[in-house]
Structure 1
Amino acid sequence: MGFLHVFIFALIFVPSFTINADESLNLNEEVLGLIVFKSSITDPSSHLSSWNQDDQTPCSWKFITCNPVTSRVTELTLDGLNLSGKIGKGLEKLRNLKVLSLANNHFTGHINPELSLLTNLEHLNLSRNGFSDRIPGSLTNSGTIKFLDLSQNFISGPVPEELFTNCLSLRSLSLSSNNLEGPIPHSLSNCTTLNHLNLSSNSFSGNPDFTSGIWTLTRIRTLDLSRNSFTGSIPNGVFALHDLKELSLEGNHFSGALPSDLGLCPHLKKLDFSNNLFTETVPESLKTLSTLSYLNLATNMLTGEFPQWIGSLTSLEYLDLSRNRLTGMLPETIDVLYSLTYISVSDNNLTGNIPDGLFKLGFDRIDLSRNEFTGSIPPGSSKLFESLESLDLSGNRLIGDIPAEMGLNSKLRYLNLSWNNFQTRMPPELGYLQNLTVLDLRYGTFHGSIPGNLCDSGRIGILQLDGNSFTGSIPNEIGNCSSLYLLSMSHNNLNGSIPRSMSQLKKLKILKLEYNQLTGEIPPELGELENLLSVNISYNRLQGRLPSGGVFQTLGKSSLEGNLGICSPLLQGPCKMNVPKPLYLDPFAYRNENGRRRGDDQGDQPSKSFKHHHFLSFSVIIAIVAAVVIAIGVIVTLLLNISARRRLAFVDNALESCSSSSRSGASLSMGKIVWFDSKSDHDNYCIVNPEAFLRKANEIGSGVFGTLYKAYAGDDNNLLAIKNLVVSNMTPYHEDFIREIGVLGKLRHPNLVSLKGYYWTPKLQLLVTDYVPYGSLYTKLHERSPSCQPLSWRNRFKILLGTAKGLAYLHHSFRPPIMHHNIKPNNILLDENLTPKISDFGLTRILSKLDKHVMNNRFQSALGYVAPELACQSLRVNEKCDVYGFGVLILEIVTGRRPIEYGEDNVLILNEEVKIMLEEGNVLECVDESIGEYPEEEVLPVLKLALVCTSQIPSSRPSMAEVVQILQVIKTPVPPRMESY
C-alpha cells in the first residue's frame, strides 16, 4: 500500500484508528528517509535492491534491523558493500536508530552534521572511507553515542573542543589514520567513561595535558597515541589508570624520564614507548606488572643498569630494549621468563657473561649484538633447538668454543658470531645446521682449517669468514654450497690453490679471497660463472693468466695487485706461468739454402731463400693477433650500431605518428576494478562513478604520467593509492592494456610499490597500488620540517641499498628487462621503517605510445637524472639509463643537494663537482653536514660507485645487480665499540 493510500485510510478512520494511523505515518517516514538516503549514493552491485519505496515498512529490507515490538528501525549496517557518494538527507528520519555503520566503503565529502539529529544513536562507524574536511563539532550532541569510529579517512584540521562537551556515554573513540593536527582538546577529559582511545597515525602535536586531559580518564583500557608528533615529558602521578591494558606512545618525540608510576597499572599487557627521546633509567615500578606480555623501549636514550628485576615479568613474551645506553649485566633470573620468545638488547653497553638460563628458553629470535658480553656461549637446551631461527651475538668479546649442541638447532637460519674473540676452531657441527642460510664469523679470531662439511645442507647463501686465522687450503667440498652467492674468506692465512670445484657455484655473485697465501693459477673454469659480479684476489701468491670469460676480464688493479705474477696489463712486474716459455725465434740463427749458418762467412748477405722464410718474434705475433681482435671488434660494433639505428628510427616513426587526444567531454563507459590478488567473485566489481576516487581533497601528488589520489578500495578496504593516468588515452585497446599491466601485476618485491589492481575504460585508466604513508625521499632530503630529524647515514645507506635491490629485480628478473626511466627522489617512497618503495615503474610498458610533449615533460621533470643517451634520443636505449639515474640519486642522498643548482652566474652540476673534488682529494667535504658522524670507509666507496654509475659511456656503467653486490660488500659490520650511525 502506497503512502497516499495510507493517508486516505487514516482520514476515513480517524475516530477509531488514530494511534495506528500515526504509527503508519511514522513508519512511512522511515521508508521515505531511507529512499532519499539511497538516492544520493551509488550501489554498483545492487545490494540495496530490496529497498522498495512502495513498502509500508523497511523492516524486511536487507541490512535493516527493526525493534520487533515497535517495528521502528534501530540498526542500519552497510559495511563493505562498495557504496560511494555522500551522506545526504534522509537518515535524520530514523528517530529510533541506535546503530549506523557505513564502514569499508567509498563514501566521500564531509561528514553530515545532521547525523547529530539522531537522538538515540549509540554506535556510529564511518571508518575506512574517503571522508574529508573537518569533524563536525555537533556530532556527539545527542549525548547517547557510545562507540565512534572515524578512522582511516582523510579528515583534517584540529579536533573541535565542542565534540566532547556532551560525551558522558562515550566508551570507544578511534580517529586513527587521518590528517588531524594540533593539540588534543582539553574537553576530552569530559568523557569520563571512555574505555578505548586511538589517535595514532595523525599529526597531533604539542604536549598532552597530563593534569586535566586524557590522563584523567581513569576507566581507559587501551590508549594509542603512536606515530604522531607529541613532545615534552610525562610527569609522575598521571598513571593511576587501574583498568589500562595497552599503552602505545611509539614514534613520537617524548623526552625526559619514563614515569615512575607505570607500575600502578596492574592490568597492563602491552607497553610500547619505542622510538622516542626518553632518558634516565627504566623505572623499577614496572616489575609489579605481572600481566605484561609486550615491552618495547627500543631506540631511546635510556641509561643506567639493565633492569635486574626483569624476571618478575613472568608473562613477558616480547622484550626489546635495543639501541639505548644501558649498562650492567643480564640477570640470572631471566631464565624464569618461560613465555619469552623474542629478546633484543643490541646496541647497548652490557657486560658480563650471557646467563646459562637464557639459552634454555624457547626463543624464536635472540639479538645480543654490539655490547660487551664476555665469557663463552652457553649450551642450549632442547627447547631452544626446537624454536630458534635467528641468533646474533656479533660485536661482543665472547671467547671459548662454540657449543657442539648448536648443530642441533634444526630451525636456525641466521647465525652471526662475528667481531668476537673466540680463539678457537670452527666446529664441524655447524655443518649439521640443515636450514642455515647465513653464517657470519668475520673477525671472530677463529683458527685452524675450514671444515669440509660446512656446505652439506646446500642451503647457505652467505658465508663470511674474513679477518680470522684460518689455515690450510680452501676445502674442495666448497663446491657443495650450491646456494652460495656471497663467499668471503679474505684476511686469513689460507694456502694452496683455489679449488676447481668452486666453478660449481653457479649462483655465486661475490668472491673475496684477498690477503691470503693462495698459490698457483686461477682455475679457468671460474670464468664460466655467469652470475659472478665481483672478485678480489689481491695480495696472494697467484700467478698465470686470468680466466678468459666472465668478470675476470674487467677486474681493476685493486682486485689483482700484490700477487707473484698474474698476467694483466694493469700490473707491473713479471708474468709467471706454469707452462714452458715460448722459444725466441732468431731469424739469423737458421741456415741458408746451402746449409751454412748465417754468419759463417763474414759479410755474407741474407740469401733469397731466407727472404721468403721470415720467422716472427713472439711480440710481433701478439701485435698481429691484437690487431685482428680490434678489427673484429670494430666490425661487430658497426653492425650493432646499424641495428640500433634501425630500431631507433622505427620508434621515432611511431612517436611521430602518435598524437594525444583530449579527454574533455568524453563519456565514461562502465568499468571494473580488477584485483590481481582476487580471492572471490566479489573482488571484481563495476564502478559507475570513478570520479569518486578523483577528488581534489584526496589528491596527494602529481607527476608526468598522472595524478595520485588517496583512497580505499577492494573488499578489505585497505588504504590504497589511485593513479589517474593522464596519458591514458594512448592505450585505447583493453587487450593491449591488460597484457602489459598483467606483467606489472605479478611484480612482488619489498622495495617496489605493489600494483594491486586496475580500472579500465577506453578514456579512463586507473592504477591501484599500495599506499606508502611517510612520503617521498625528496621530502626527507629537501623539504624537511625543523621538527623532523635528518636522515642518518645508516638510514641513507638503507634507502640506497633497498632502491638498488628494487631496480635489480626489475632489470634482471624479466626478459625483456623492465625499465623505470625516471629514477629520482620523488619516485622513492618511504614506509614507517624508512624502507624505500620505488613507484611509477613500468609505466612505459602500459603507455606504449608517448607523444613528444609527454616525453619532453618527462625530461624537464627529471633534469640531472636523465642519462645522456636518453636525453639526446628522447627515448630509452637500455637499462643502463636507470643505472645513470641511480648514480645521481646516490650523490643526492650523500650530499643532500639537488643534481642541478642554478646560481646567479653559473649552473652547478653535482656529479661534475663531486668528480673534481675526488680528483683533488677532498671529496668528503661534499657530504651533507646534517648526517652527523659517518664511517668514511663506507661513504668514500659509495661516492666512487656513484661516479662509475654516471659514466657518460653506458657500457662503462655496472649493472644494477653489480651495484647491489658492491653495496653489500661496502656495508661491512661495524666493529664492537664503533658508534652507531
Structure 2
Amino acid sequence: MEGGTIKFPSFLLLISLLSIAKLGICKAEEDSLPLNDDVLGLIVFKSALHDPFSHLNSWSEDDNSPCAWEFIKCNPRNGRVSEVSLDGLGLSGKMGRGLEKLDDLKVLSLSNNNLTGNINPELGLIYSLEKLNISHNNLSGNIPTYLANMTSIQFLDLSENSLSGPVPDNLFENCKSLRFISLAGNILEGPFPTTLSRCTNVNHLNFSKNLFSGDPNFKEMFQSLTRIRTLDLSNNELSGQVPFGISAMHNLKKVHLQGNHFSGSMPVDIGFCSHLSRLDFSDNFLTGGLPESIQRLSALSFFSLLNNLLDGDFPQWISKMSSLEYLDFSGNSLKGSLPLSIAEMNALKFLGLSNNRLTGNIPTSLALCTGLSVIRLSGNAFSGSIPKGFFDMGLDELDLSRNELSGSVPSGSSKLFESLQVLDLSGNNLTGGFPAEMGLYSKLRYLNLSWNSFQSRMPPEIGYYQNLAVLDVRNSGLTGSIPGDICDSGSLRILQLDENSLTGPIPNEMGNCSSLFLLSLSHNSLSGPIPKSISLLKKLKILKLEFNQLSGEIPQDLGKLENLLAVNISYNRLVGRLPVGSIFQNLDQSALEGNLGICSPLLKGPCKMNVPKPLVLDPYAYGNQGGNENQDGEPSSRSSRSFMQHRFLSVSAIVAISAAAVIALGVMAIALINANARRRLALVDNALESMCSSSTRSGSVVAGKPIWFDSKSSPDWIRYSLESIFNKAAEIGGGVFGTVYKASLGAEGRVFAIKKLVTSNIVEYPEDFDREVRVLGKARHQNLIPLRGYYWTPQLQLLVSDYAPEGSLQTKLHERSPSAAPLTWTTRFKIVLGTAKGLAYLHHSIRPPIIHYNVKPSNILLDDHMNPKISDFGLARLVTKLDKHVTSNRFQTAPGYVAPELACQNLRVNEKCDVFGFGVLILEIVTGRRPVEYGEDNVVILSDHVRVFLEQGNVFECVDPSMGKYPEEEVLPVLKLALVCTSLIPSSRPSMGEVVQILQVINTPVPQRMEPL
C-alpha cells in the first residue's frame, strides 16, 4: 500500500477486465438469442385465451426464457420450447397466433378445454410438430388445408369438436410419419379424402360419430393401410357393401363399423384378419348368414351383429371361438337351435341372442360357461324348462322373457344371491310357486315374472329386496294379500300387480314407497279404503286401482300429488268427493264410472257423502247429490231448475276462466299494437328487398361467406343463386322468423330449404350469430331437420337446411287432395311419438336446452317413410329478445298453439311452452281438426271441445273418421295425455321426457318389459 492506495498486480487487473467484458458479451448474446421468439410467441398466444383459474400466471413477458414456466418443456440442448401441454385447464377463447414462432415445438396439447373459433391455419407453419392434440373443445369451421404442411406429424387428434364440412383432400399428402389419426365426434361429412391411402404407417384411425357418407371403398382406399390396428368408422352415414379385401389389413385388431347403413352380406374373407380382437357390425342392414371364415378368428373377444337383418342359421361352429367374451346377435332373424357345444366357450361373459327365431331347448350345458354374467335370450321360441344350472351361476342379468318355457323357477344358490341384478322371466308358461330363496337376492333391482301361471300366494320375501326398483308380476296367478313390508326398502319405482287374485286391503305401509313412479293394482279383489298414506308418494305419476272392491271416500290429500299424470279408480265401491287439485278435476268418466257414489257431474248415479250434510254449502254442487227428492225418488222440478241455475264451478273451471281472461286482455293489448307492428314489418320487408336487390346489383352480397356444416354444395352458390332463390315461385312457406324458399344449389343440383330471416331483432354481430347457429347445427336427431349451413351479412341472414319433398304434416292433415289416402292411426301415432322424441332431445340432451316456441303441423315435416322431422327449432336463439312484435305475431300465425304464459311477460318461459303446443298438436292429429275454428256465431277451441266430449263419455266422436279403424285402448290415453299437456298451469304439464315414456307404455304390447328409469 502506497499513499493509502491498494496496488493490484497487473495480471489480476487484466483478468478482471476480461471477465467483465465476457459477461457483457454473454449478456448481449443472451438478449439476441431466439429464445425471445418463444417468449413472444407464447405471450401472444396467451393473450387470446381466458384463464379463469390463473394457471398461466407464471407466463411473464419479462422473462428471457419460458423454460421455467408451468406446462412448458424445453429441449435441453438448445433451450428452445419443445412441448406445450395445457390439457384440462378450463381455458376458453380462441386459438390465436404466436405458436408459429416456436420453431422447435414437437408437442402441442390443448385438449379438454373450451376453445372456440376456427383452428389457426398457421399451425401448419410449425414444421417440427410431431403431436397435435386439440380434442374435446368447441372448435368449429373447416379443417385447414395448411395442416398438410406438417410433414413430421405422428399424432393428430381433432376429435370431439364442432368441425364441419368435408375433410380437405390434400390433408394427408405428407402423412408418412402419421401413426394416430382421430377426427371423431365432429360434424364432418362427405367422402373420405383419397390421400388417406398414403398413410401407410398409421395404426389407429378413428373417423366415428360424424356424417361421412357414401361407399368408403375399402378395397382401394384401405388395403394400402397394412399396419392399421384400430379402424373405427362407426356412427356415420356410410352405405354400400363391406367388400372383400378387408383382409388386406392383416394387422387389424379392432374394427368398429356399427351405426351406419351398410347392406348386403358380410365379407367372406373377414376371417383372415387373424389378429382381430373386436368386431362390431351392429345397427346396420346386413343380410344373409355368417361367413364360416369367422370361426378362424381365434383371438376375437368382442363380436356384435346387434340389430341387422341376418336370417341364416345360427352357426353351430360358434363354440370354436374360445376367446369370445362378448357375443351379441340380438335383433336379427337367425333360425335353428343352440349347439350343445356352446359350453366350450369358457371365456364368455355376455351372451345376447334376443329377438331372433331360435327354437328348441336352452342347452343345460350353457351353465358350464362359468364366466357368464349376462344371458339375454328373450323374444325367441325356446321351449322346455329353465336350466337349473343358471341359478347356480354368478349372473348379473338373466332375461328369458317372451319364450315358451314351462315348469317352475329353479331354486337359487348363494352365488346367484350375491350377484343377480336383473331377472326377467315374463311371458312364458311357468307354474309353481316362487322359491323361498328368491328373497335372498340382495342386489336385485329389476324383477319381472308377469304373464305366467304361478297360481301361488304373494311371496312375503318380496320386502327383503333392498335394491329393487321394478317389480312386475302382472297376470301371474297370484293369490293372498299384498305384504305390508313390500316397500321396506324404499327403492321401488315401478310396482305392477295387475290382473291377479289378490285380496285384502292395500297396506298402509304403501306410503313407504317414497320413490314410486308407477303404482298399478288394477283387476284384483282388493278391499277396504284407499290408504291416506299414498298421498306421501310425491313422485307418483301413474295410479291404477280400477276393477277392485275398494270402498270409502278417496283421501283428499291425494290432490296434493302434483306429479300425477294418470289416475283410474273405476269399478270399485268408492263414494264422496274427488280430491281438489292434481289431475282429479280433469278425470273423465271412464276413470270414475262403476263406483257406488262418487260425486262428479260426469256420473249419473247418486252421490254419497260420509261427512255431515251441513258441510256442503251448495247442496246441488255435485249435480248428482241425492237431496230434494220427491216420494218417488225423482228429483223435484225445483231441484232441476236449481241445478241448472247453480252449476258447480270447480277449481279447474275457475282457473280456466281466469286464464281465459288473462289471454283476452293480452289479445286486446296485442290488437292495439297490431297496426304499428304491421307497419314496422312492412318497412322491414321493404328495406330487406331494397337491400337485397341493391346488394345483388352492386355485388356486395358476395362479400358474405357461406358457412357449411355438412353440405357438398359449392361454397360459391350464393354468387350465382341469390336472384333465383328470392322469387315468389320458389317460396314454400313462411312465419314470424322469416320466409322459406326452395333452391337447387351447387353443381350437383341438391335441393335445400333456405330461410331468409327477418333481420329485425336478429343478433347483430357475426360471431354471436355464428355461435348460436352452430349450437343448432350440432343438434342431430332422427326426428329433426338438420341445419346444413348459413350465410350472414349485416343486411341478409340465411339458414340452409334439408328440403322435405313429402311436405308437412299441415298438408297431410288439412290440405290433402281428394285422391290422397288419409293418415292411418299407425302413421299418426308414429308422428306423435317421433315428434315427442325430437322435442325431448332438444329439451333434455342439449345444454342449455333448445326451446322450439313454435310447435305446429307446418313445422313437422315428413320423410319418405312418414317419419316426422321437426323444423325451425331454436330460431328464438337468434332473436335478441322475445319482444311484443314477436309475441303478437306468434298469436296471429299460430292461434291455439301458443301457451297462455307467453302472453304474460312476467312469467318465466321454459320448455313447458313446447309441451303445450305438442298437446294441441296431438289433438289436431287425432281429431283432424284445427286448433281454433271460427263459426258464424262462435269460436271452437279444440282442447276445450275434446275435454267436454271426454267428460260426457263420448270422446270417440271427436276422432277423425277418415282414418278408419283404430284401437280405442290407444286413442283414449293419447287424448288424455294431450289434455294434460295443454293444462293452463305450466307446472301441471309433464316434461317431454315423461311424455315419451308414457307414449311408449301406451303403444307397448303385452307382455312388456319396462326398464328401470
TM-score (norm 2): 0.65
The question of whether the paired residues in 1 share the 8 Å contact of 2:891 and 2:898 is answered with no
- Residue number in structure 1 paired with 2:184: 151
Deviations 1:377-406 (A, max 9, x none): 222222322232222222121111112222
User: Which of 233, 246, 249 matches 2:281?
Assistant: 249
Distance 1:34 1:829 in 2: 56
Greater mean deviation of Cα atoms: 447-456 or 368-377:
447-456
User: Which of 945, 952, 957 matches 2:976?
Assistant: 945
1:85 to 1:574, Cα distance in 2 relative to 1, 3 A: closer
DSSP-derived class of the 2:430 partner: coil
Distance 1:458 1:443 in 2: 24
- Asked if 1:280 is matched to 2:312, the reply is yes
How far residue 218 of structure 1 moved from its aligned partner, in angstroms, is 1.2
User: Which of 750, 770, 783 matches 1:776?
Assistant: 783
User: Which of 301, 319, 325 matches 2:333?
Assistant: 301
How far residue 264 of structure 1 moved from its aligned partner, in angstroms, is 0.9
How far residue 442 of structure 1 moved from its aligned partner, in angstroms, is 0.9
- Residue number in structure 2 paired with 1:133: 166
Deviations 1:805-853 (A, max 9, x none): 899999xxxxxx99974335899999xxxx9999999998998942344
- Residue number in structure 1 paired with 2:109: 78
Greater mean deviation of Cα atoms: 434-443 or 60-69:
60-69
Superposition map of 1:550-565 within 5 A: 551-565=583-597
Distance 1:947 1:335 in 2: 49
DSSP-derived class of the 2:231 partner: strand
DSSP-derived class of the 2:546 partner: coil
How far residue 514 of structure 1 moved from its aligned partner, in angstroms, is 2.1
- Residue number in structure 2 paired with 1:44: 49
The question of whether the paired residues in 2 share the 8 Å contact of 1:728 and 1:764 is answered with no
DSSP-derived class of the 2:327 partner: strand
The question of whether the paired residues in 1 share the 8 Å contact of 2:185 and 2:210 is answered with yes
1:819 to 1:148, Cα distance in 2 relative to 1, 3 A: closer
User: Which of 804, 815, 823 matches 2:855?
Assistant: 823
DSSP-derived class of the 1:311 partner: helix
1:965 to 1:489, Cα distance in 2 relative to 1, 3 A: farther
Q: Once superposed, what is the RMSD of the aligned Cα atoms?
A: 6.1
DSSP-derived class of the 1:940 partner: helix
How far residue 140 of structure 1 moved from its aligned partner, in angstroms, is 4.0
The question of whether the paired residues in 2 share the 8 Å contact of 1:231 and 1:252 is answered with yes
DSSP-derived class of the 1:190 partner: coil
The question of whether the paired residues in 2 share the 8 Å contact of 1:777 and 1:825 is answered with no
Distance 1:413 1:101 in 2: 42
- Asked if 1:448 is matched to 2:465, the reply is no
How far residue 163 of structure 1 moved from its aligned partner, in angstroms, is 3.1
- Residue number in structure 2 paired with 1:866: 897
How far residue 926 of structure 1 moved from its aligned partner, in angstroms, is 3.0
- Residue number in structure 1 paired with 2:223: 189
The question of whether the paired residues in 1 share the 8 Å contact of 2:165 and 2:710 is answered with no
The question of whether the paired residues in 1 share the 8 Å contact of 2:313 and 2:335 is answered with yes
Greater mean deviation of Cα atoms: 966-975 or 488-497:
966-975
Which AA in structure 1 matches 2:390? L
User: Which of 234, 238, 243 matches 1:204?
Assistant: 238
1:877 to 1:86, Cα distance in 2 relative to 1, 3 A: closer
- Residue number in structure 2 paired with 1:696: 707
Which AA in structure 1 matches 2:233? L
The question of whether the paired residues in 1 share the 8 Å contact of 2:856 and 2:897 is answered with no
Deviations 1:679-710 (A, max 9, x none): xxxxxxxxxxxxxxx9812389x997899xxx
Greater mean deviation of Cα atoms: 125-134 or 639-648:
639-648
DSSP-derived class of the 1:406 partner: helix
1:826 to 1:273, Cα distance in 2 relative to 1, 3 A: farther
Distance 1:146 1:767 in 2: 31
1:334 to 1:31, Cα distance in 2 relative to 1, 3 A: farther
Which AA in structure 1 matches 2:963? C
Greater mean deviation of Cα atoms: 431-440 or 105-114:
105-114
Q: Percent identity?
A: 41
- Asked if 1:265 is matched to 2:300, the reply is no
Superposition map of 1:64-75 within 5 A: 73=104, 75=106
- Asked if 1:437 is matched to 2:442, the reply is no
Distance 1:149 1:580 in 2: 77
The question of whether the paired residues in 1 share the 8 Å contact of 2:351 and 2:374 is answered with yes
How far residue 472 of structure 1 moved from its aligned partner, in angstroms, is 3.2
Distance 1:893 1:259 in 2: 47
Superposition map of 1:396-795 within 5 A: 396-499=428-531, 501-502=533-534, 505=537, 507-522=539-554, 526=558, 532-543=564-575, 551-573=583-605, 696-698=707-709, 771-777=778-784, 783=804
User: Which of 386, 390, 395 matches 2:422?
Assistant: 390
How far residue 471 of structure 1 moved from its aligned partner, in angstroms, is 2.6
Deviations 1:346-370 (A, max 9, x none): 2222222222221233333332222
Which AA in structure 2 matches 1:299? G
Distance 1:801 1:697 in 2: 28
User: Which of 223, 229, 232 matches 2:255?
Assistant: 223
How far residue 31 of structure 1 moved from its aligned partner, in angstroms, is 10
Which AA in structure 1 matches 2:369? L
Q: Which runs of 5+ in 2 are unaligned?
A: 1-28, 81-102, 615-634, 685-704, 712-733, 740-756, 787-800, 808-823, 934-940
Distance 1:650 1:353 in 2: 73
1:497 to 1:103, Cα distance in 2 relative to 1, 3 A: closer
- Residue number in structure 2 paired with 1:926: 963
How far residue 913 of structure 1 moved from its aligned partner, in angstroms, is 13
Which AA in structure 1 matches 2:222? L
Q: Which runs of 5+ in 1 are unaligned?
A: 1-23, 583-616, 663-693, 708-724, 733-758, 811-816, 902-908, 928-933
1:217 to 1:892, Cα distance in 2 relative to 1, 3 A: farther
Which AA in structure 1 matches 2:49? P
Distance 2:672 2:293 in 1: 75
DSSP-derived class of the 2:390 partner: helix
DSSP-derived class of the 1:890 partner: helix
DSSP-derived class of the 2:238 partner: strand
How far residue 803 of structure 1 moved from its aligned partner, in angstroms, is 7.4
The question of whether the paired residues in 2 share the 8 Å contact of 1:895 and 1:926 is answered with no
Which AA in structure 2 matches 1:418? S
- Residue number in structure 2 paired with 1:960: 990
- Residue number in structure 1 paired with 2:356: 324
- Residue number in structure 1 paired with 2:719: none
Distance 1:570 1:895 in 2: 22
Distance 2:384 2:966 in 1: 28
Distance 2:157 2:558 in 1: 65
- Residue number in structure 2 paired with 1:752: none
The question of whether the paired residues in 2 share the 8 Å contact of 1:65 and 1:75 is answered with no
The question of whether the paired residues in 1 share the 8 Å contact of 2:550 and 2:572 is answered with yes
- Counting matched residue pairs gives 815
How far residue 477 of structure 1 moved from its aligned partner, in angstroms, is 3.8
How far residue 427 of structure 1 moved from its aligned partner, in angstroms, is 0.5
1:913 to 1:31, Cα distance in 2 relative to 1, 3 A: farther
1:525 to 1:274, Cα distance in 2 relative to 1, 3 A: closer
1:314 to 1:825, Cα distance in 2 relative to 1, 3 A: farther
The question of whether the paired residues in 2 share the 8 Å contact of 1:485 and 1:507 is answered with yes
1:415 to 1:619, Cα distance in 2 relative to 1, 3 A: farther
- Residue number in structure 1 paired with 2:631: none
1:404 to 1:728, Cα distance in 2 relative to 1, 3 A: farther
Distance 2:843 2:164 in 1: 39
DSSP-derived class of the 1:459 partner: coil
Greater mean deviation of Cα atoms: 910-919 or 966-975:
910-919
Distance 2:590 2:240 in 1: 55
